[in-house]
Amino acid sequence: MTTTGTENGTDTGAGRLRGHLGSVAVVFMVVAAAAPLTVIGGNMPLAMALGNGAGAPVGFVLAALVLLVFSVGFVTMTPHVPEAGAFFSYVTVGLGRRLGTGIAVVALIAYTAIQVGIYGYIGWAIDDTVRFYGGPEVPWPVYAFAVLAIVALLGYRHIDLSAKVLGIALALEIGIVLLLDVVIVGKPGPAGLTLDSFRPEVFTSGTLGIAVLFALTGFIGFEATAVFRDEARDPERTIPRATYAAVLIIGGFYALTCWAFVVATGPDEVSATAQRTLDGEGNMLLDTTGAMLGALGRDVVNVLLLTSLFACVLSFHNVIARYQFVLSGRGLLPTRLGVVHDRHRSPAFSSVVQTVTAAVIVALLAVFGVDPLVGVFGSMAGVATVGMVLLMFTTSVAVLVFFVRHRAESRGRLWQTRIAPAVACVGLLTSLWLVLSNFTLVTGGSVALSAALAAVPFVGLLVGVALGSRLRVPATR
């Protein structure tokens, strides 16, 4: 093992992670975390049934626009942030160590929550698939722990191995859905090749805000491009390219596929079809795939849904391990978490700790008999969504403050350093209001339970701020 080296807050280089990830590899890691097929199978029916029906594709477009504007300030500030801590590092540089520490705690909460939620989802999904093909019924935690063991093995090793695994899974996942989209366009439903989804009177009907809400949950993890900067081949070019590409690919993929499903079902029937999915009387993704690609296509998508969930949980494991690694280097977490494995050049001990943390939480949920979908996945996704929006809003404020204080760095870049971050703040505040005001729809729980879960990221922020005096301030470039 090699320990991190920091003197007076400046990394000496001895313990920095190294790698040769290019823009494509980083995009694979990030898009895999967004779990496109999982979002199409889960978030899309929710947006259609509870939101604005046939206008749901516009929700994904609007969410992508908000995140794209956020990314402008995010990547503009990247050269001035000396370490790969993503939101934590940006907020520390822009707003100080106390808020930076608070945001680090929020990030750990958000990423841990969504990862645990995915373990619940994949445990249920594997059991459902096994029983569909005539196998025995097995408790979801058994499958969840089996997946956790594989993730632990891959996360312990060098990041290049994880990137290759995620790349293969993601290519197959996106490929089959794009094939499905093409077949739907070639053989549309009863209303033909309609563009009704993009008509104002359609996408403003129902509740557009709920559609945006569920669209936002589908982007969790896109900002993790900056977490891999130390392992990027050329971070000054790789990270901005990967960030913009991730938002455009994720947003475009979601919007296109959501529209294709409207075409396949018909604008007048899509809400009812999506509602049947929520009621457990059908499966919009698999049923539509079966109708368009046959039984074989349905089976392939079913398997790829499982690989999508696996790719998602592996990606979040890597992100959390690196957050802990950076926090250790700043003195907030134990020094042992900030070591680099001599052979694998990975944050190996941090990866092990992250595995143990996830295992303990999953075990507790299993002991208390929490439902894997509504109780585990729904609730944890809700906590993660609140955390993500809070993280991005604070980061946008940090970008504004940083460039106000460093006017020379912002000269001639009014859009990147002032306008875009300000617009992002407005958009993210609106998004946070949408999430909180409709939080029971995300968690599927009572008002009291939903309020308690929604408060978790804010409590984490306050705890982190209180602990912020222990954090060393990173040097700006």
Higher pLDDT, 240 or 459: 459
DSSP SS3 for 183: helix
When computed from its CA atoms, the radius of gyration of the chain, rounded to whole angstroms, is 21
The predicted pLDDT at position 345 comes to 59
The predicted pLDDT at position 240 comes to 80
Residue 74: name the closest of 372, 326, 393 by CA: 393
Statement: residue 476 has pLDDT above 80: no
Q: For Cα atoms 453, 454, 456, give the angle at the middle one, nearest 5 degrees.
A: 65
pLDDT in tens, 255-291: 999 999 999 999 999 999 998 887 767 788 989 999 9
Q: Mean pLDDT across the chain, nearest whole number?
A: 82
Q: Which of 70-84, 158-172, 358-372 has the lowest mean pLDDT?
A: 158-172
Higher pLDDT, 43 or 195: 195
Statement: residue 398 has pLDDT above 90: yes
pLDDT in tens, 171-180: 788 888 899 9
* Separation between Cα atoms, residue 352 and residue 337, nearest integer Å: 9
Q: Looking at residues 155-162, what average pLDDT do you find?
A: 59
* Separation between Cα atoms, residue 340 and residue 173, nearest integer Å: 32
Higher pLDDT, 83 or 151: 151
pLDDT in tens, 294-328: 999 999 998 888 888 887 888 788 878 877 887 77
* Separation between Cα atoms, residue 95 and residue 80, nearest integer Å: 13
The predicted pLDDT at position 346 comes to 59
Please give, one letter per residue, the 3-state secondary structure of the chain: CEECCEECCEECCCCCCCCCECHHHHHHHHHHHHCHHHHHHCHHHHHHHHHHHHHHHHHHHHHHHHHHHHHHHHHHHHHHCCCCCCHHHHHHHHHCHHHHHHHHHHHHHHHHHHHHHHHHHHHHHHHHHHHHCCCCCCCHHHHHHHHHHHHHHHHHCCHHHHHHHHHHHHHHHHHHHHHHHHHHHHCCCCCCCCCHHHCHHHHCCCCHHHHHHHHHHCCCCHHHHHHHHHHECCHHHHHHHHHHHHHHHHHHHHHHHHHHHHHHHCCCCHHHHHHHHHCCCCCHHHHHHHHHHHHHHHHHHHHHHHHHHHHHHHHHHHHHHHHHHHHHHCCCCCHHHHEECCCCCCCHHHHHHHHHHHHHHHHHHHHCCCCHHHHHHHHHHHHHHHHHHHHHHHHHHHHHHHHHHCHHHHCCCHHHHHHHHHHHHHHHHHHHHHHHHCHHHHHCCCHHHHHHHHHHHHHHHHHHHHHHHHCCCCCCC
Q: Which of 9-18, 109-118, 285-294, 444-453 has the lowest mean pLDDT?
A: 9-18
DSSP SS3 for 162: helix
Report whether 331 contacts 100 (CB < 8 A). Answer: no
Q: Give the other-Cβ count within 10 Å of 86's Cβ.
A: 26
Q: Looking at residues 197-221, what average pLDDT do you find?
A: 84
Domains in the chain: ranges and CATH: 23-466 (1.20.1740.10)
Q: Looking at residues 80-107, what average pLDDT do you find?
A: 84
The predicted pLDDT at position 20 comes to 59
